[in-house]
Amino acid sequence: MSGQFSRLTHGKIHYAWWIFATCFFVNACVMGIVANTAGIYLQPVSAEFGWPLAKMNFYLTIVQIVMTLTLPIAGYIIPRINIKIAIGVPALLMGGTYALSSLFQSLTAWYIAGIVLGACYGFLMYVPIPLLINNWFKKHVGTVLGLVVAGASLIAAFTNPIGSMLIVEHGWRFARVVLGVTSLILSLPLIILVLRYKPADIGLLPYGAEDKMDNTEKSAAVEVGIGSKKAFRSLSFITIFLFSGLLVMTASMLQQVPGYAVSQGIPATVGATGVSFIMLGGIIGKIILGALTDKIGFAKTAILACFCGIGGVALIMSVGSNIPLFLAGASIFGIAYASIVIIPPMAVRGTFGTKDYSQIYSWITVANGAFGAITPIGVGLIVDMTGSYKLAWIICLFSYGTVILLTLLTKVSSRSYAPNFKNPA
């Protein structure tokens, strides 16, 4: 198998594009099929057993907590064991647990499944895709990453209505089996047959690297940058951690759009459509922002995304019940929403390089879980106390401004790494 694909890389197809295809389908299965369909089961499962919806929702809280705790572990383990095992076993457990949940009869079973799925997400959701793309591509890194994550969003747009249709026609248990097995069929063969951790494993250079390099240069082409210990002590690590969390916090306002729309006299159906417009803007934004990081670097791209966020939120807040302008604001906000999966990984690459990328980035993603968990609670408290979403949106605007400042501070503080590492951003 390795020899066959090695020959392909010296012809028209570089092996990196097989890695791209694998990342695309793995991410599509994790995000598009499994994670993003979680919400469609809450009501039918609760209704069948007579459980309060809050108790069923706690299953998702468990998933989030376990995933957050697992991320640093995944960042440490993935580079140290066979990549097929590191990715294949969690993919198998994820799809299998999702399908086998069709047999559940108790909340305890769902909570145990939440622990398993959270651990699997920790190994599949944030760390491996950017890591593999960074390993295999020397150019077009942001563009390729953008295409991978945009693909997952596009597939999610189809799997949610398909899953809902299956639930209505055949029940939620049948839907869990169909989607769980589908995730296994789409991901496992590619993981087993195609996946390689880095080009050197099959005697290649990353896509875009010079073909004629000596052994030292070949090694440097894959592992360049500063070590994780130095990175963790740096100001840049703190600033990236904070602005990554703030980007997740702003993106979490997506969940509040339907309720806000109703509070402004906009029909609930239009509020739900606003979420779809945000997701559509997000798909486009992932591709655009990914390409821009290749052209102008992560810092300028992050600032541009924040201005889109500020513009989109300002429009949403100021148009009242004007539906066309509300939807326009949602679309623009969607571009900024896309930044949560593009800017942080590219910021780590652009600031610290690829040497200890997985360890550094896995700790950055802890901010995603932490900020993502507290935002819905915070917004709920604000609305309960003030009777309005206004303060929450103002905080969102303030957060985008803070991200701009933190991004600039990251660029300034990382200049001291110049003697050791040529910053690619």
Is 386 a residue whose pLDDT tops 80?
yes
CA-CA distance, 95 to 180, in Å (whole number)?
5
Binned at pLDDT 50, 70 and 90, residue 152 comes out as confident
pLDDT score of 246 more than 80: yes
pLDDT higher at 327 or 419? 327
The 10s digit of each residue's pLDDT in 255-291 is 788 888 888 888 877 887 888 888 889 999 999 999 9
pLDDT per residue as tens digits for the range 290-340: 999 999 999 999 999 999 999 999 999 998 889 999 999 999 999 999 999
Please, which residues bridge with residue 383 across strands?
none
Which DSSP string do the residues of 234-295 spell out, in sequence order? SHHHHHHHHHHHHHHHHHGGGGGHHHHHHHTT--HHHHHHHHHHHHHHHHHHHHHHHHHHHH
Provide the residue type at 74 as one letter.
A
- The confidence score (pLDDT) of residue 405 equals 97
- Residue 384 — very low, low, confident or very high, per pLDDT cuts 50/70/90? confident
> Residue 286 is which amino acid?
K
- Per the listing, tokens 């992050």 go with 302
Asked if the model's pLDDT at residue 419 lies above 70, the reply is: no
Structure confidence at residue 56 (pLDDT): 84
DSSP letter (8 states) at residue 1:
-
**Comparing C-alpha atoms, which of 19, 240, 279 is closest to residue 129?**
19
Give the single-character DSSP code of 125: T
Angle made by CA atoms 246, 252, 255, in degrees to the nearest 5: 165
Give all domains of the chain, ordered by start, each with its CATH number.
2-197 (1.20.1250.20), 223-411 (1.20.1250.20)
Tens digits of per-residue pLDDT, 65-107?
A: 899 899 999 989 999 999 999 999 999 999 999 999 999 999 9
Is a pLDDT exceeding 90 seen at residue 36?
no
Rounded CA gap, 397 and 380, in Å?
18
The predicted-structure confidence for 338-350, as pLDDT tens digits, reads as follows 999 999 999 999 9
CB atoms within 10 A of CB 105: 9
Output the pLDDT for position 358.
86
Output Rg (C-alpha) for the chain, integer angstroms.
Answer: 21
DSSP secondary structure of 35-103:
GGGTHHHHHHHHHHHT--HHHHHHHHHHHHHHHHHHHHHHHHHGGGS-HHHHHHHHHHHHHHHHHHGGG
Q: Retrieve residue 378's tokens.
A: 């915070």
Closest CA to 76 of 364, 366, 362: 362
What are the Cα distances from residue 2, in Å, to 15, 85, 194, 218, 219?
Answer: 10, 17, 9, 19, 20
Most confident by average pLDDT, 40-54, 123-137, 393-407, 411-425: 393-407
Provide the 3-class DSSP secondary structure of residue 137.
strand
* Alpha-carbon gap, residue 362 to 67, rounded angstroms: 11
pLDDT at 269: 79
Q: What is the pLDDT of residues 354-371, one digit of tens each?
A: 888 888 998 998 888 888
Give the pLDDT confidence of 188-218 residue by residue, as tens digits: 999 999 999 999 998 899 998 755 454 544 5
Provide the pLDDT for residue 2: 43
Answer whether 354's CB lies under 8 Å from 206's CB.
Answer: no
- What's the mean pLDDT when you consider all of the chain? 87
Predicted local distance difference test score (pLDDT) of residue 311: 96
Q: Which residues contact 380 (CB under 8 A, 6 or more apart)?
A: none
Q: Give tens-digit pLDDT for 9-24.
A: 445 789 999 999 999 9
CB neighbours (10 Å) of residue 139? 12
Measured distance CA(89)–CA(45) in Å, rounded = 27
